[in-house]
Structure 1
Amino acid sequence: MPLATNHSGDRAKTVTLTKFTPSINLTKPGDRHGVMRVDLNWSAEVRRGLFRRPVAIALGLGCLYELADGAKGVVEVDRLGSLEAEPFIRLDEATPGGESLRIDLERPELFRRILLFAKGDADAPNWAAADGVVTLHPTTGPAVEVRLDEPVPSARSCAIALLQNPGQGITVHREVHYVDGAHRELDRAYQWGMDWD
């Protein structure tokens, strides 16, 4: 599996993760990078039907996390998280067509894995029309982009990217895995092992 290397340098550069180059190193052992912003952007409305009326599209950004001490949880619209205490991840206020969260990578050894996901408000969203893209903005090196392509019409959620710390720094791997359902189904697909009852 090809692994791109994230070098410091031109901040205007963006690395796009694809099926053929699905992973990149975000940090190396001992690196400290401060707060990384993660943006989810999509087309907030599309025009369809006989009179081309606008139809709103609403997505939500969130993540499942597992810390090095074994703590697990979810950050999303009703569980905003915190940057000052566990889980060191916080969801910001949404805007039409966009949501952001921040991850404090000042101590990357605190994290084991983070699964970034998007989900629709209720029914399965129109993923193709939404044309979603997630961009990670590390404090050094290029931005990292993952496009929500290959949509599955019936899916309610999409696992976007998996950040892991296997002990050699943090890597990000493109997932773009659509699931019929929300937390439980994402948990089951990635063997997170949380209790949703």
Structure 2
Amino acid sequence: MAFWDNLWQGRASDFDSGSAGSNSIELTRRRPSVSLTKQGAATGNLRVNLSWRMRSSDIEGRSRQSSSLLRHPFKLFKPDVVQAHTQGMVNVDLDLGCMYELTDGSKGVVQPLGGFLGDLNDPPYIKLSGDDRFGSGSGETIYANLDHWEEIKRLLFFVYIYDQTPAFDRTHAHVTLYPSSGPRIEIELDEDAPQARSCAVFSVQNVKGELIVRREVKFVYGFQAELDRLYGWGLHWGRGYKTKT
């Protein structure tokens, strides 16, 4: 259900927060931004969660293939080609990352690749909690300590496909922001970009003392370096790998 069906009453600032977790704000092309400051949510830990699942068309396709599996039972052991919240084998690994720039001019990235996990209580005040490689229900989570928001100039949260398999068109990726108070904020990665390998999902900027969350949802065909160039971050990127587990 679209956000404006429940919450929009003609003014961008009139959000009904309700009880914790009972309502949500969906950022779309028509309604791309929200002020955490006006929501009274510019303090505490902002939790950002990435989850993804198989699209319903793929699930329906699997149902139609059930009779084929009976005739060819060894197909059952063939890995899936998209990430899903199931116990089956998968081979698409979506990662959540965050580029940061602090008011003192320092810049960097928090992401699973390279083990840049960040720190919540010291600069950059951004912390990655684990790396979900299997599409579990909990997904991947990054925390931002907004008690230090006056030291944060801008953040860019992004998603990339680690194994280099373009599959955004077949995965239903979803990013949810959980502020310390007020409604959660929902962003769907629903643009048509089947060959993209990375996506800038949303930005957080300190605009004249106000903390603004803005939907980006910009897909690129490269990786973090291309997102860097798109947003003018100016970091130096190299080839990275994950440790095997």
- Give the TM-score, by structure 2 length: 0.72
- What RMSD, in angstroms, separates the aligned Cα atoms of the two structures? 2.6
Percent of pairs with identical residues: 40
CA shift digits 1:103-140 (9 cap, x unpaired): 00012111111000000012143112210010000011
**2:58 matches 1:23:** no
Correspondent of 1:33 among 38, 43, 48: 43
**Residue 154 of structure 1 aligns with which residue?**
195
C-alpha deviation, 1:168, in angstroms: 2.9
Letter in 2 for 1:152: A
Given that 1:17 and 1:174 are in contact with CA atoms closer than 8 Å, whether structure 2 keeps it comes out as yes
Which secondary structure does the structure 2 equivalent of 1:174 belong to?
Answer: strand
**2:218 matches 1:177:** yes
Correspondent of 1:64 among 96, 99, 103: 99
Correspondent of 2:141 among 73, 90, 100: 100
Residue segments in structure 1 that go unaligned for 5+ positions in a row: none
Classify 1:105/1:7 alpha carbon distance in 2 versus 1 (closer, same or farther; 3 Å).
farther
Correspondent of 1:73 among 104, 108, 113: 108
Structure number with the higher strand fraction is: 1
**2:122 matches 1:89:** no
Q: How far, CA to CA, are the matches of 1:44 and 1:105 in structure 2?
A: 33
- Give the TM-score, by structure 1 length: 0.89
Q: How far, CA to CA, are the matches of 2:16 and 2:152 in structure 1?
A: 21
Given that 1:4 and 1:25 are in contact with CA atoms closer than 8 Å, whether structure 2 keeps it comes out as no
Query: Which entry has the higher C-alpha Rg, 1 or 2?
Result: 2
C-alpha deviation, 1:94, in angstroms: 3.0
Which secondary structure does the structure 2 equivalent of 1:144 belong to?
Answer: strand
C-alpha deviation, 1:154, in angstroms: 1.4
Classify 1:17/1:186 alpha carbon distance in 2 versus 1 (closer, same or farther; 3 Å).
same
Q: How far, CA to CA, are the matches of 1:13 and 1:148 in structure 2?
A: 20
C-alpha deviation, 1:10, in angstroms: 2.9
Given that 1:58 and 1:125 are in contact with CA atoms closer than 8 Å, whether structure 2 keeps it comes out as no
Q: How far, CA to CA, are the matches of 2:41 and 2:199 in structure 1?
A: 30
CA shift digits 1:73-100 (9 cap, x unpaired): 0000020000021100000013432100
Correspondent of 1:121 among 146, 149, 162: 162
Residue segments in structure 2 that go unaligned for 5+ positions in a row: 1-9, 70-74, 82-89, 239-245
